Amino acid sequence: MTESSQGDKKKPIWRRYLLWGMPIGGVAAVFVGGIIFWGGFNTAMEATNTKQFCISCHEMRDYVYEEYKGTIHDVNRSGVGAMCSDCHVPKDWTHKIIRKVQATKELWGKMVGTINTPEKFEAKRLELAMNEWERMKANDSRECRNCHDFESMMPEFQRPRARQQHLNAMEAGQTCIDCHKGIAHSDLRDRAEEDYLESLEAPNPAFKRDVPHEYIVSLERIVAKESDEAAAAKAAQKAQQEAVQARIAAAVEAAVAEEKAKAANSGADADGDRAANTGGATGTVAANIDWNAVPATDLTLFYPGQASFEWVQNGKTHGGARPLTKGGDTCMTCHAAELEAIGNKIVAGGETEPTPIPGKRGIINTTIQAAHDDENLYVRVQWPDAPHNPAPFVDGGKMDPDNQVKVAMMIAGTGIEMGETTGCWASCHADNTYMPFDPGAEAIAGNADVAGRLEATDTITKYLTESRTKVEVKGRRGKAQGGWDQLKSAEEISQLFEDGTYLDLLRVYADGTSSNGYLLERRIVNDGEMSAEANLSAGIWTVVFSRPLNSGAPGDIPLEPGKTYTVGFAIHDDYAAARFHHVTLNTSLALDDNTAQINVAKQ
C-alpha cells in the first residue's frame, strides 16, 4: 500500500504541464532569464550610445568633442541637440548591431593607441572622416534623415540658395552628406583629393525623390511673397530716383537761368559756355531718346574679390560648382536674392579678398535702361556716388587717379564655355592682375614669346579659356590656376574670332570718353564706333553710351530682333582698377522682349 501510494504521487505543477515539449516551469525560467538578459544587454548597449560614454576616452573628449561643442547640433534656438549616437549609430536594430560590431575595430584602435596623441589624430583624421562620408553616402545619409527630411522642409524658412540646392538634390539624386560635411566637426573636405570628392559626391539615381507637394506649395508662397516685396521696393526706389531727378532738373534749370542772366550782361552764349564745361555730359549721345518711356531694370552689382572663373568651378571653394558645371544652373539660379550678403561678406576681407579696402561698399544698386532706333543701341546706367575710401596698398589711395569711375558692358558671343550661365565671369581668371596666381612682371618677361603676343609687360588682362590650350582649374598638386602662358596658335585664335567666340567690350570713363573692343586672348581696343558721356549730379552718376546695332565691324556682336544675349556690367568706382570693381551675374538682354531682364525698347 505504501509503495503504491508513493508511486502514484503527483509531480509538481511546474513539471506537470509541458509547453513545446518542455516543462512550463523551465519555459518560464528561460523566459524570465531572457528578459533579464535582453534588458541587461539592451541597457548596456544603450549605455554605449550616451554622450558620457562616447567622450569617456580622451581621444574623443579632447579632439572631436571640442569641435562639436557650440555647433548647431550642440546648442541652438530650439534647444534640441544631437549627440554622438544620433549621427553615428543607426536607429533600427539590425543596422545598429552591425554598427556596434564594426565598433570593435575602434576598441582595438584604442588599445594600441592609434590616435592617442594630437599628432596621430591629425594624421589619421582624414581617413576617419572619409570612412564616415562613405558610410553615410552608401545609406543615403540615413542618420541625417532620422531628424531632417525633405518632406518636412519648408522653403519659406530657407535662404534662396538652400531652396534651390535642396530642389536640385531631390531631382538629381543627391544626399545630405554630399554638401553637409564639417557641420559638427572641422571640415576636412579641402584635404581630400578632387577626384575622390567628385566620385563621392556624384548624384545617385537611386536617391532621386519626387518633390513633395508641400515643398512646391511652400516654394510658390515664398516666391510670390518675395516678388511682391521686390516690386514694392522697386516702386519706392523709383519714387526716390524720380525725386532725385526732379532735384537735378531744378538745379540744371536754375544753373541755366543763372548763366543766361550772366550772358545778358556780358553778351556771351550761355548755352555754349555751359556745354564746354560739362565734360561731354550734355545729353547729346541719346538726344532722341525719351528715357521716361524706357523700361528700367534694377541690377545689384556686387564685389567679387578674387573669386575667379577657376574658383567658381572648383568644388573645394564653391559649393555650387557641380550645379554650375554639371547641372547647367546659372549663377543667378542660386545667388539672385543674396548678392548684397555676398558682396558685403567678400569686401570685408577673407579668403577671397586678402587685401580689403576699408569702407568700400559691398554692392552698388544700379538702374539700367536700354533703347534702340533703327540704327543704334542706347544704354543709360545710373547709380549713387559714395565717399572716397583710399586703397591702403596704393600710394595716394587711388588706383586710377584719372578716372573716378569706369563703366563696362560685355556681350557674350558664341562658343564660350559657360558663357550663357556665367556671363562675363568666363573672362576672369586666377592669374589676372591682382589675382591669387598673378605671375608678376618677372615671370611675364621670362616668357618673351607669349608676352609679346599678349603685349604684356607686368600685367595679364582678362581672357577666354577658349584661347588657351589648357587652363588649370583645380590646382592639383600645387599647380598654379589659370593658363595665361598656354596660348593657342595665332591661326587658332583667328578662327575663334571669325567664329564669334569673344566678348564684345564697351567701356566708358569718368570724363565721358569711351573705348570699343573685345576680349579673347587678351583685352583689345579696336576703336569701333561708339559714343558716350558721363555726369555726376546731385550725388547720382549717369553714364550714357551708344553703338550701332550692327556695325559689321570686327569685334562688334550684332544685335538682332528675336535673339537673347547674355551680358555683364561692371563698375569701377572710387578710382578702382583691375579686379577691385563691382559686377553683375549673368544678365539677359533682348530687343523688344519683356521676358529679358533688360528689354531694349524701340523708340
CATH number at residue 553: 2.60.40.1190
Q: Please indicate, yes or no, if residue 490 is contained in any of the structural domains.
A: no
Task: Report the C-alpha gap between 490 and 320 in whole angstroms.
Answer: 35
- φ/ψ region of 517 (left if φ > 0, alpha if ψ in -120 to 50, else beta) reads beta
Task: Report the C-alpha gap between 357 and 349 in whole angstroms.
Answer: 8
Q: Please indicate, yes or no, if residue 25 is contained in any of the structural domains.
A: no
SS3 per residue for 37-89: HHHHHHHHHHHCCCHHHHCCCHHHHHHHHHHHCCCCCCCCCCCCCCCHHHHHC
- Asked if residue 315 lies in contact with residue 321, where contact means CB atoms within 8 angstroms, the answer is yes
pLDDT at 24: 65
Instruction: Specify whether 160 is located in the same domain as 252.
Output: no
pLDDT at 278: 35
Task: Report the C-alpha gap between 317 and 336 in whole angstroms.
Answer: 19
pLDDT at 100: 80
- Asked if residue 545 lies in contact with residue 531, where contact means CB atoms within 8 angstroms, the answer is yes
Q: Please indicate, yes or no, if residue 401 is contained in any of the structural domains.
A: yes
For residue 363, give its domain range. Answer: 284-413+501-602
pTM of the model: 0.77
Question: Residue 41, exposed/middle/buried by CB under 10 A (0-12, 13-18, 19+)?
Answer: exposed
Q: Please indicate, yes or no, if residue 21 is contained in any of the structural domains.
A: no
Instruction: Specify whether 61 is located in the same domain as 190.
Output: yes
Q: Please indicate, yes or no, if residue 33 is contained in any of the structural domains.
A: no
CA nearest neighbour of 504 among 366, 324, 399, 379: 379
Instruction: Specify whether 384 is located in the same domain as 245.
Output: no
Instruction: Specify whether 152 is located in the same domain as 235.
Output: no
Q: Quote the DSSP letter at residue 189.
A: G
Instruction: Specify whether 241 is located in the same domain as 204.
Output: no
pLDDT at 426: 95
Instruction: Specify whether 400 is located in the same domain as 544.
Output: yes
Instruction: Specify whether 235 is located in the same domain as 331.
Output: no
Give the residues of the chain that fall short of pLDDT 50.
1-5, 268-282
Phi and psi torsions of 537, nearest 5°: -145, 130
Q: How many other β-carbons are positioned within 10 Å of the β-carbon of residue 250?
A: 11
Buried b (16+ CB within 10 A) or exposed e, 341-374: ebbebbbeeeebbeebbeebbbbbebbbbbbbee
CA nearest neighbour of 523 among 450, 581, 463, 448: 463
SS3 96: helix
Cell of 106: 575602434
pLDDT at 275: 33
pLDDT at 149: 86
Angle at 70 between CA 68 and CA 72, to 5 degrees: 85
- Asked if residue 568 lies in contact with residue 598, where contact means CB atoms within 8 angstroms, the answer is no
Total tally of structural domains belonging to the chain: 3
182-187 contacts at long range (C-beta below 8 A, 24 or more positions apart): 183/71, 183/72, 183/73, 184/67, 184/68, 184/71, 184/73, 184/74, 184/82, 184/87, 185/64, 185/67, 185/68, 185/129, 186/67, 186/125
Instruction: Specify whether 168 is located in the same domain as 73.
Output: yes
Instruction: Specify whether 303 is located in the same domain as 158.
Output: no
CA nearest neighbour of 111 among 153, 57, 148: 57
- Asked if residue 164 lies in contact with residue 334, where contact means CB atoms within 8 angstroms, the answer is yes
Q: Please indicate, yes or no, if residue 463 is contained in any of the structural domains.
A: no
- φ/ψ region of 107 (left if φ > 0, alpha if ψ in -120 to 50, else beta) reads alpha
Regarding beta strands 406-412 and 503-509, do their DSSP bridges make them parallel or antiparallel, or are they unpaired? antiparallel
- Asked if residue 74 lies in contact with residue 114, where contact means CB atoms within 8 angstroms, the answer is no
Q: Quote the DSSP letter at residue 468.
A: B
- Asked if residue 131 lies in contact with residue 196, where contact means CB atoms within 8 angstroms, the answer is no
SS3 505: strand
Instruction: Specify whether 240 is located in the same domain as 327.
Output: no
Instruction: Specify whether 195 is located in the same domain as 240.
Output: no
pLDDT at 17: 59
Q: Please indicate, yes or no, if residue 564 is contained in any of the structural domains.
A: yes
Task: Report the C-alpha gap between 176 and 180 in whole angstroms.
Answer: 6
Tens of pLDDT, residue by residue over 66-102, are 989 989 898 888 888 888 888 888 888 888 888 888 8
Q: How many other β-carbons are positioned within 10 Å of the β-carbon of residue 268?
A: 13
Instruction: Specify whether 260 is located in the same domain as 159.
Output: no
Q: Please indicate, yes or no, if residue 24 is contained in any of the structural domains.
A: no
Task: Report the C-alpha gap between 329 and 309 in whole angstroms.
Answer: 15
Task: Report the C-alpha gap between 170 and 150 in whole angstroms.
Answer: 8
